[in-house]
Structure 1
Amino acid sequence: MSARQWGADLALGVRFAFTGGREGWTRALLTAVGVGLGVALLLLTTAIPNALDVRHDREMARADISFSDERLPAGDGTVVVAHADTDFRDKTVRGRALEPEGPRAPLPPGVEKLPAVGEMVVSPALKDFLESDSGKLLRERLPDRIVGTIGESGLVGSAELAFYRGAEGLAPHVDGGRVVRLEEFGFAEASTERMDPVLLLLVLVVFVVLLMPVAVFIAAAVRFGGERRDRRLAALRLVGADGRMTRRIAAGEALAGSVLGLVFGAVFFLIGRQAAGRAEVFDVSVFPSYLDPSPLLALLVAVAVPAAAVLVTLLALRGVVIEPLGVVRTVRPARRRLWWRLLLPLAGLAMLYPMIGKGRSHGDFNQYLVVGGVMLLLVGVTALLPWVVETVVARLGGGAVSWQLAVRRLQLGSGTAARMVNGIAVAVAGAIALQMLFAGVDDDYTESTGRDLTRAQMQVDVPGTAPLDDAAEKLRHTEGVRAVYAYYEGTLGDRRKDPERSTWATVGDCAALREVAELPSCRDGDVFAVAGAQWDTDMPELAESGRTLYLDPAYGGDPKTTQVAWPVPGDLKQARPRTGLTGSDRGGFLLTRGALPAAAVPALSGQVYLALDESVKDAREHVRNTAAAIGPLANATTWSDTRQSGRFTSIRTGLFVGAACVLALIGASLLVSQLEQLRERRKLLSSLVAFGTRRRTLSLSVLWQTAVPITLGLLLASVVGIALGTVLLKMTATPVRVDWASVLGMTGVGAAVVLVVTLLSLPPLLRLMRPDGLRTE
């Protein structure tokens, strides 16, 4: 067969798709919508790497961190930047206080003019939030007048909450940490840290799991209207076309629908691209300009989708005999064979088997084996599901009329029902495996903070310029605060500069000191030595009466002016360490307020630990508002009992965002598929109604036709997902345990999507169940 003949037959199929009357273009339109939804998500996926790169570049361009040990001197081109981040309920607000030191002070990206004291420029999302009723409490914390908005170049996402405010008096607090002096914003990374092998495995599996359902849906979409198309092709046999020619013509029709689907997909992508600029999923947002697909990957999608459409159509017609007088499809089909369907998941397991037990200590996992093995296991779901559905429904018997109608329909054409739920079964299987993997390795990337949340839930850092007693009193009278523990904290060394031995110094009243040590007795003016605390080996030698120690010793560079000599008193009392509020035992010296020289206060930092009344609504927000009123450098933080790796959290967030997009595609594609199935059975439904069948019975039969395959699909997905999750856990050398909550949750989500689609298809079903549907032309 020449390429010219192939081209002519494909072109003829394309013509039939658009000039074959309402049936032809309706089928082409349905195929285009189904393919277009898949293409849109593929284009979105190809744009994700660029979006992540742009977000990272924006973050680096506005970076205000000093990595130099040498302090930058003030000048006409410098600005002092203080970190003023805050939280509001479950949102993080990025904040910076700016104090220009000359006319040439640098501007942060996205800011046209530095705000003066009492002014601030904010992100558009923060401006809208502060002006809304929901932002009244946050507005008390940020009372400055809004004089402008931050441009896109200064934000990492459209929904980011961020502000720059004017400030003064920051220069004396420059410490290279929270307060820095800069000549310019941004920095270039010198090197890229190597990613943990297990995290790299997670990334690979996430991409495969998210993309496989899309590919399955596209393959199913090109087969929309297959039965009617085959009956039309039978007419071509009457005018001399042979079987091979009709198959090529059918492939041409599929090609036309897929190419139109590419156009639809581009339109859907552009619409979704604009909508993405107004959406926030799991605290992640982007600007539309971020979502630019890679040209090479977009070209690959443009070529692969039509090629797959032709290939899927030719494979689907292998078992269909198109004769001049009809399509041989009504006879009892041959039973599906199981052996070759088992080869796919077994081959996938064979590809993953060599990496079992590798863990993170034996280098990276082979990317090709991981991708290939996971793909074969998930494709195995699509191969096994038709056999499972056919085998089960063949054994189903009598029942209500609606049940019998549904079962008989499934027995006559179980393949169509299986194709409809293939995508969701693949998505659920992959999601279960990923949830097992995430749950299994979660402990490796999560560590305990050691904080005792039963004694305190928040901490406020009080700058040296604000009296600690006044700050503690304001916090004590804040709504929702139950108890306040205030301390001055610092370091004591045996020399002013580069001490050989050092220890902690903690200052507070007797009630507060009893929270960090077991005191024999206490009154104002006492000093205690706490020996035996973990990591404090220098304390025995430093606790010598009359020895001179230095508060806040310098490490490198010139000694700081705040250093104060402090003689160890002769009436030193002994105390035993106790697990403190921060979760660790604290050694060193404990001083009551009367024992602290006034000159030593600037050398110490103020810390206030707060116990909250959880029954008070927005107690944490009231504390943050009070902290903001104490001073621009006062920082309120909320304690948590665990701390998680940033990369691990980012990958999990990416999974949730991608899963949300895939579920949206699943729902939309299932709805299109369901409507196409109903359209094909319009005359049958109308005939049953004309003979007196109740609409309620027909509606229930449609529900059963959906419920039976999806139940079988979810059961198969659970088995495959657990098997894949087990293998992945063994690959990471992690103990295998099934996260049944995730398994039930994923299957429940899949069932909910199908239920919603079924409910949405009921109104069109009721319109189709009319006797006038028997009319024909």
Structure 2
Amino acid sequence: MSVGSRTITGPRGWGRDLWTGVRFAVGGGREGWIRTLLTALGVGLGVVLLLGAASIPTMMEMRSQRGDARQPMESEQSPPRSAATLVEAQADTDFRGDPVRGMLLRPDGDRAPAPPGVSTLPGPGEMVVSPALRGLLGSPEGRLLRERLHFKDVGTIGQAGLIGPGELIYYAGSATLTTDDGGWRIAGFGTRTKSDPMDPMLLVLMIVGCVVMLMPVAIFIATAVRFGGERRDRRLAALRLIGADARMTRRTAAGEALFGAVCGLAVGAVLFLAARRLVGGVAVWDVNVFPSDITPVPGLAALVLLAVPLAAIGVTLFALRRVSIEPLGVAREGAGRRRRLWWRLPLPAVGLVLMLFNGTVSGRDASVNPYLVAGGATLFLLGVALLLPWAVDAAMARLRGGPVPWQLAVRRLQLSGAAAARAVSGITVAVAGAIALQLFFAAIQGDFMKTTGQDASRAQLHTMLPSHEVGTIRKMIEEFRATEGVRGVIASIDSSASRPGPLRRGEQFRPSTRVTVGDCGSLREMAHTGPCKDGDVFVAEDGSGSVDAGYIAETARPGATVDLAPDDGPGKPPHPRLWTVPRSARTVESRVDPTGQTAFGLLVTPGALDLRLLDRPMARAMVRIDPEVPDAVEHVRNTAARIDPRTKVFALQNIARDKQFTSLRTGLLVAATATLALIAASMLVTMVEQLRERRRLLSVLVAFGTRRATLAWSVLWQTAVPVALGLALAVAGGAGLGLALLRMAHKTSFDWSVVWPLTAAGGGLVLVVTLLSLPPLWRMMRPDGLRTE
């Protein structure tokens, strides 16, 4: 480097030139600080999302650790009763679609362990609750839930016992819970749960999703560090006038960008810490976390802190590669020179080749190379972004004539189409990636959904009562039928019956069959009984073939004597409870009930059997609710909890989704929401900066009598044309990337219906940002903008 007669080369020269650029940025007066602040804000918004992405591993690990810490300690055998044990039973429920986790506890002594986050175990009739549950119970919306959780609130569960601040969870004390009545004795809490390996298709989905979410962030950071390009060029020309050479001026420009990037890091860190404090009260797609969980992984945070300044230097030097900076002005090479297409097309092509080189990912045994998939997706989306400036130049070169606002917009795009393309390249990449992901989602979701066999049209809820007392079971059926919003109850009491007498040669257990007790209406839902009255008995044949017909024939036949006592196994003294199947029992064909189960064995009406003979009967009820009654489901759950807090209530559904698929889809939706918010904010900052750059030009046009409406429409067209071209590229690029993903998954279905909503959302986002930029545009269109010093 040379300044006057001195020559400085090497790292020392680089350092001096960069420092000169920093001094220019600091001492540039009001205009320089505004430019630096806009750059810092643009970079800072990107840094916020990068730090958030770097916090995801910590967030997942902390949530997993707290979830494992509160799980009852597992053991092959129940520990012996002592002062340091307790009996627990799950008492989960749901309220208006939100899960409410509950557990009943009865300590065996004064040294019984407490769950994490609980200082003192609740006594009988008492409960400790999470802050979110207490807030819900105290609100008008929680009235029905208060009726269900009829315990006294005596304490709060701390953060150590909660997965997230919005979790609904309680621990209630019980005085009657025993191991004979559905409870389980434990010696403590804390167990490591094993997670299933991720399906290869879901792994590909996650990798591509991360690339799609982070690529727009990198593009916006690269755009932000180039703010103020025109004023910077004039300063560099002045620097050349006092003796600096071309390399020095470029490195000085890189120093200015470096200062803005460092300020952006500081702004991003401050915004990240501020958002971190507020995140505890916000739930996105039913996901929320504690502020302390949002802690970037040190290595990833260091990478962000290093990559952003280096990117600022690299982008600036790359942008000036075709700029000739002379003492009397700046000339851009290729002003009127068309952009080359030949070097842009190989990037998406190479990206597709890398992805397809991984091979197929269908099947649990398939292998996924994350580097090939991530690298291929990155190259493809980068290629789409690089095609946009060429598309803008190619389209603008062919446009002629039109209204005055249109001509102003076209001329501006012809002179600086690259800046307009950079402003919308982020939304182009985001929409293209979102289209590819949605096409992949639509094609593979059938692989992660299974038919349950349940029929939600015949019944909507299925309840199971862990009580073996016949009186409690009868009470359950009666109270369900009297519950508000219930149109019908298909109730049954299930037990078993076996062949009486000792074991025969070669037998390990006596042949047995199921005994189902219910009224005629309920039995008709389980078999084609025909005429039925109380006192009838039926022998149901299992048409599915899943039950050994010989076992049924030995026990469930007219006139046979069966033993209703439990089979305690060989060597145990028998205590028979004999009952004779009436000879009038009719053989009927079974049918699938609303839960998807097929009845078999003995179907008995209550008048034909003394229920006290049954061994450990289990009650279950399938409930039909009236859709016209608000909160009918919650009334049923309240009835179930009033009978016994451990009563299980399940919603019947025809299709069940894979949990990994559902959680990954939720995570990508959360990330997409954050990325779109960043895109909107960054585009607004970029647009304001571009208007500020053209403030003098706008003032000149207004001074010469140009109407403000004409300029406003011109600005709108300057945004709309690149956006339209960008969205067209996004549709084509998203379809291409989606087809590559479908080929990897061996899928052929292509659902065009997911393309247009995303394209419309991208266009709508840009329209909103453009409308928000009109107030600052209106302020800049004043003749006094020509005033200068």
TM norm structure 1: 0.95
* CA positional deviation for 1:140: 1.8
Partner residue of 2:494? Answer: 489
What is the distance in 2 between the residues matched to 1:280 and 1:162? 17
What is the distance in 2 between the residues matched to 1:211 and 1:291? 18
Distance 1:775 1:170, change over 3 A: same
1:43 equivalent among 38, 51, 54 = 51
Match of 1:528, SS state, is strand
Partner residue of 1:529? Answer: 539
What is the distance in 2 between the residues matched to 1:338 and 1:88? 58
1:201 equivalent among 200, 204, 221 = 204
1:224 equivalent among 224, 227, 248 = 227
- Taking only aligned residues, the RMSD between alpha carbons, in angstroms, comes to 2.2
Distance 1:491 1:212, change over 3 A: farther
* CA positional deviation for 1:576: 0.8
2:244 equivalent among 232, 241, 244 = 241
1:180 pairs with 2:180: no
Partner residue of 1:301? Answer: 304
Cα deviations by residue, 1:438-478 (Å, 9 ceiling, x for unpaired): 22111111111111111111122223246233222222222
Match of 1:99, SS state, is strand
Partner residue of 2:626? Answer: 613
**Corresponding letter in the other structure for 1:676:** E
Q: Is the 8 A contact 2:566 2:615 kept in 1?
A: no
1:5 pairs with 2:16: no
What is the distance in 2 between the residues matched to 1:319 and 1:555? 89
Distance 1:393 1:503, change over 3 A: farther
Q: Is the 8 A contact 2:454 2:595 kept in 1?
A: yes
Partner residue of 1:519? Answer: 529
What is the distance in 2 between the residues matched to 1:52 and 1:6? 42
Cα deviations by residue, 1:29-73 (Å, 9 ceiling, x for unpaired): 1111111111111111111011101111111000127452x3333
Q: Is the 8 A contact 2:285 2:666 kept in 1?
A: yes
Match of 1:77, SS state, is coil
Distance 1:632 1:511, change over 3 A: same
Partner residue of 2:509? Answer: 499
Cα deviations by residue, 1:160-202 (Å, 9 ceiling, x for unpaired): 1111112221105454xxx32211012134x654332222222
What is the distance in 2 between the residues matched to 1:607 and 1:573? 24
Cα deviations by residue, 1:622-643 (Å, 9 ceiling, x for unpaired): 1111211122222222222211
Match of 1:285, SS state, is coil
Q: Is the 8 A contact 1:577 1:586 kept in 2?
A: yes
Gaps of 5+ in 1: none
1:595 equivalent among 605, 608, 621 = 608
Q: Is the 8 A contact 2:78 2:186 kept in 1?
A: no
1:143 equivalent among 144, 150, 155 = 150
What is the distance in 2 between the residues matched to 1:480 and 1:284? 31
Partner residue of 1:92? Answer: 99
What is the distance in 2 between the residues matched to 1:149 and 1:220? 48
1:736 pairs with 2:745: no
1:480 pairs with 2:488: no
What is the distance in 2 between the residues matched to 1:210 and 1:446? 26
Partner residue of 2:164? Answer: 157
Partner residue of 2:346? Answer: 343
Q: Identical aligned pairs, as a percentage? A: 52
Cα deviations by residue, 1:295-338 (Å, 9 ceiling, x for unpaired): 11111111111111111111111122222122224983310111
* CA positional deviation for 1:268: 1.3
What is the distance in 2 between the residues matched to 1:557 and 1:500? 10
1:20-39 to 2 correspondence within 5 Å?
Answer: 20-39=28-47
**Corresponding letter in the other structure for 1:59:** G
In terms of mean alpha carbon deviation, does 151-160 or 57-66 score higher?
A: 57-66
Partner residue of 2:4? Answer: none
Match of 1:102, SS state, is coil
Q: Is the 8 A contact 1:82 1:96 kept in 2?
A: yes
Distance 1:689 1:557, change over 3 A: farther
In terms of mean alpha carbon deviation, does 686-695 or 444-453 score higher?
A: 686-695
1:660 pairs with 2:677: no
In terms of mean alpha carbon deviation, does 319-328 or 489-498 score higher?
A: 489-498
Q: Is the 8 A contact 1:356 1:731 kept in 2?
A: yes
What is the distance in 1 between the residues matched to 2:621 and 2:565? 19
1:513-662 to 2 correspondence within 5 Å?
Answer: 513-534=523-544, 535-537=546-548, 538-545=551-558, 547-551=560-564, 553=566, 565-601=578-614, 603-662=616-675
1:762 pairs with 2:767: no
Q: Is the 8 A contact 2:499 2:554 kept in 1?
A: no
Q: Is the 8 A contact 1:125 1:160 kept in 2?
A: yes
Distance 1:486 1:544, change over 3 A: closer
Q: Is the 8 A contact 2:39 2:261 kept in 1?
A: yes
Cα deviations by residue, 1:327-358 (Å, 9 ceiling, x for unpaired): 22498331011111001001101112223435
Partner residue of 2:389? Answer: 386
1:101 pairs with 2:108: yes
Q: Is the 8 A contact 1:548 1:566 kept in 2?
A: yes
1:80 pairs with 2:52: no
What is the distance in 2 between the residues matched to 1:22 and 1:454? 70
1:706 equivalent among 719, 741, 758 = 719
Distance 1:560 1:426, change over 3 A: farther
What is the distance in 2 between the residues matched to 1:668 and 1:170? 56
* CA positional deviation for 1:539: 2.2
Distance 1:198 1:560, change over 3 A: farther
What is the distance in 2 between the residues matched to 1:240 and 1:114? 80
Q: Is the 8 A contact 2:246 2:325 kept in 1?
A: yes
What is the distance in 2 between the residues matched to 1:500 and 1:272? 66
**Corresponding letter in the other structure for 2:658:** S
1:690 pairs with 2:703: yes
Partner residue of 1:54? Answer: 62
1:748 pairs with 2:760: yes
1:414 pairs with 2:421: no
1:124 pairs with 2:155: no
* CA positional deviation for 1:677: 0.8
**Corresponding letter in the other structure for 2:218:** A
Cα deviations by residue, 1:683-703 (Å, 9 ceiling, x for unpaired): 111222222222222222211
**Corresponding letter in the other structure for 1:76:** A
Cα deviations by residue, 1:729-756 (Å, 9 ceiling, x for unpaired): 11122x2222323212222222222122
Q: Is the 8 A contact 2:455 2:653 kept in 1?
A: no
Q: Is the 8 A contact 2:564 2:614 kept in 1?
A: no
Q: Is the 8 A contact 2:496 2:615 kept in 1?
A: no
* CA positional deviation for 1:654: 0.8
**Corresponding letter in the other structure for 2:60:** L
* CA positional deviation for 1:362: 5.2
What is the distance in 2 between the residues matched to 1:126 and 1:226? 54
1:308-323 to 2 correspondence within 5 Å?
Answer: 308-323=311-326
What is the distance in 2 between the residues matched to 1:192 and 1:581? 31
What is the distance in 1 between the residues matched to 2:429 and 2:565? 61
Partner residue of 1:449? Answer: 452
Cα deviations by residue, 1:104-126 (Å, 9 ceiling, x for unpaired): 11100000111122221111111
Q: What number of residue pairs does the alignment pair up?
A: 771
Distance 1:275 1:98, change over 3 A: same
What is the distance in 2 between the residues matched to 1:79 and 1:558? 32
Q: Is the 8 A contact 1:486 1:609 kept in 2?
A: yes
Distance 1:486 1:562, change over 3 A: farther
Match of 2:756, SS state, is helix
Cα deviations by residue, 1:529-561 (Å, 9 ceiling, x for unpaired): 111421122323432455554558468899899
**Corresponding letter in the other structure for 2:134:** K
In terms of mean alpha carbon deviation, does 563-572 or 669-678 score higher?
A: 563-572
Match of 2:281, SS state, is coil
